[in-house]
Amino acid sequence: MKKTRRNFLKGVGAAGILISGAGALRAAEREDNYEVLARSEHFDPNDNIQIALIGAGGMGTADVGTALTVPGVKIVAVCDLYDGRLKAAQEHWGKDLFVTRDYREVLARPDIDAVIIGTPDHWHKRISVDALLAGKSAYCEKPMIHSVDEGAEVVAAQKKSGKVFQVGSQGLSSLGNEKAKELYEAGTIGAINYAEGFWARHDPIGAWQYAIPEDASETTVDWKRYLEPCSKKPSFDTKRFFRWRCYRDYGTGMCGDLFVHLFSSLHFIVSSTGPEKVYASGGLRYWKDGREVPDVLLGVFDYPETPKHTAFNLSLRCNFVDGTSGTTYLRIVGNEGAMDVTWDDVTVYRNTGDASKDPFAKIKASETGEADADRKRMMPPEKMVYKVEDGYKGAHYDHHFNFFNAVRNNKPIVEDAVFGFRAAAPALLSNDSQVTDGIIHWDPAAMKIRKT
């Protein structure tokens, strides 16, 4: 553990460092208790990178949209199992775009340097492994895997191939996370003992009620290929194809969709390999539309002491029935302060413990009617706010920039297969815990379930 530093307002606000590779983190301007974060971007387009998209749904399409804003990136092929998405891709990115239902045809093309994998979760492992072993770099949407027993194969494929592999938890590369990591390592909040995260949604789209095209049929959808990785082979069902997150055979529920973001950010900030104990509880409270996964979920996790952090506890919550809507945060609490972290800002609170610093620390007896003129009052914590400057391109851009920069220069990347496995595992084990109503013991270093 690093020694703590108490004078954080003077000591850590303006330091400029490079953590994840999208460009140096710097202080654009500084005022008392407020700092604007900025990115000094460095880019040397040594050559162009040609990419393909495998899985052209909402997230995959958004990923390509962001990727194409990175200089020197061109899309040349798209694979999807629904014809309507292939048609839309050609309309959007050009009639000369190669389109197919079979991802193996994409991997066989020598003109493709990297693929973006935006398929349902049950295809992530197979396509990632095949892409790496075919000599392609791969950007795979989170979670990296559909079940924990798939993780080792992806890790092995990345190691064997020597190619760049990055998991798509975009917030990891944000200015907010980088500043939080810097502050934590400077000892700003002391020794961590607790963390919590919350992700809430209320709108239908956010709760996975995705639109189903009118022309969806067994003619326009390759249902047989969709089911290849599954043991169960139900009859054609448009909901199971277009609203796949609602079903365990294809998706990973709230944990795989949202918990994994929070794990990724936390593990990055405090350099953790993950928890050793997992327990989760939840249920269907509102979206009773045939889905098999909860719409409210709570998880608790025990983290062991490591050379990078003390032992601490984590609680995570997801709610798709939140009337306040849209609440998202990660809070990290230490023995000297706490940080509220989002992708775009960090707020640090520190209790001074010194009433003499507050000019209103004493309440006059004439105001209270009490005999004790030295009665103390509530003390506010010290507060420092770090916020991105106007024009910041955002975490999504930074994450894609990091990926393509690593592809060009053959450099290591933060959210590789090992990191992605360690973020996905406790999320997926939360699902298993909720189903079995039991505690699961995990070995975060060996990345294996621990038998008790």
Question: What's residue 2's pLDDT?
Answer: 40
Please report which confidence band the pLDDT of residue 369 belongs to, taking 50, 70 and 90 as the band edges: low
Q: pLDDT tens, 316-350?
A: 999 999 988 667 889 999 999 999 999 999 999 99
Please spell the DSSP secondary structure of 25-87, one letter per residue: EEEEEEETTEEEEEEE------S-EEEEEE--SHHHHHHHHHHTTSTTEEEEEEE-SBHHHHH
Q: pLDDT tens, 244-282?
A: 999 999 999 999 999 999 999 999 999 999 999 999 999
Question: What's residue 41's pLDDT?
Answer: 60
Provide the token pair at 175.
Answer: 């200015």
Question: What's residue 18's pLDDT?
Answer: 38
Q: pLDDT tens, 208-224?
A: 999 999 999 999 999 99
* Residue 380 · residue 19 · CB < 8 Å: no
d(CA 446, CA 450): 9
Question: What's residue 4's pLDDT?
Answer: 40
Q: Running DSSP on this structure, what letter comes out for residue 10? A: H
d(CA 150, CA 425): 10
Please report which confidence band the pLDDT of residue 368 belongs to, taking 50, 70 and 90 as the band edges: low
Whether residue 446 is predicted with pLDDT greater than 60 in this model: the reply is yes
Question: What's residue 17's pLDDT?
Answer: 35
CATH 3.30.360.10 applies to domain 8-20+177-210+253-391+422-449: yes
SS3 category, 338: strand
Q: pLDDT tens, 6-63?
A: 444 444 444 333 344 566 565 556 666 778 887 766 555 557 999 999 999 999 999 9
* Residue 190 · residue 336 · CB < 8 Å: yes
Of 290 and 366, more confident: 290
d(CA 386, CA 350): 14
Q: Percentage of residues in the chain with pLDDT exceeding 70?
A: 85
Summary mean pLDDT of the chain: 89
Phi-psi region of 394 (alpha: psi -120 to 50; beta: other; left: phi over 0): left
Is the pTM higher than 0.75?
Answer: yes
Of 26 and 169, more confident: 169
Q: pLDDT tens, 278-304?
A: 999 999 999 999 999 999 999 999 999
Q: Which residues pair with 441 in a beta bridge?
A: 277
Provide the token pair at 364.
Answer: 């006059």
Question: What's residue 26's pLDDT?
Answer: 58
Whether residue 77 is predicted with pLDDT greater than 90 in this model: the reply is yes
* Residue 266 · residue 197 · CB < 8 Å: yes
Q: Running DSSP on this structure, what letter comes out for residue 123? A: G
Q: What is the mean pLDDT of residues 234-241?
A: 98
Whether residue 241 is predicted with pLDDT greater than 80 in this model: the reply is yes
Query: Of 247, 206, 406, 254, which Cα lies nearest the Cα of 263?
Result: 254
Whether residue 433 is predicted with pLDDT greater than 60 in this model: the reply is yes
Segments making up each domain of the chain, as ranges: 8-20+177-210+253-391+422-449
- Amino acid type, 262: L
Q: pLDDT tens, 114-150?
A: 999 999 999 999 999 999 999 999 999 999 999 999 9
Q: What is the mean pLDDT of residues 398-404?
A: 97
User: How would you write 90-138 as a 3-class SS string?
Assistant: HHHHCCCCEEECCHHHHHCCCCCCEEEECCCHHHHHHHHHHHHHCCCEE
